[in-house]
Amino acid sequence: MTEALPRPGDVLFVGGAASVQFQGERALTFRVIRVDPRITYDGWLWIDGYVLGPSGDALERRVIFVKKDGLIKKR
């Protein structure tokens, strides 16, 4: 995701390119609630949102720390 920051409502694929913790089977689909405005490492973000299941239903609310350029916007 080389464009602007994710926005509320965006649905993202979060895989290994975003952070090693989401490598392989740990990858997830994530609906953004908000991006934390606090400054962190260059190119990294704290994102608050919901992990989505295969049918698009919210399964779990999480806050994740990811590399912006590793995020893939869906839809």
Q: What is the pLDDT along the chain (75 residues), one digit of tens a residue?
A: 556 899 999 999 999 999 999 999 999 999 999 999 998 999 999 999 999 999 999 999 999 999 999 999 997
The pLDDT of residue 24 = 96
Distance from chain centroid for Cα 47: 6
The pLDDT of residue 3 = 65
The pLDDT of residue 2 = 53
The pLDDT of residue 65 = 97
CA-nearest of 17, 23, 5, 9 to 74 is 9
Residue with tokens 């916007």: 73
The structure's pTM equals 0.89
Is residue 70 a contact partner of residue 19, using CB atoms and an 8 Å limit?
Answer: yes
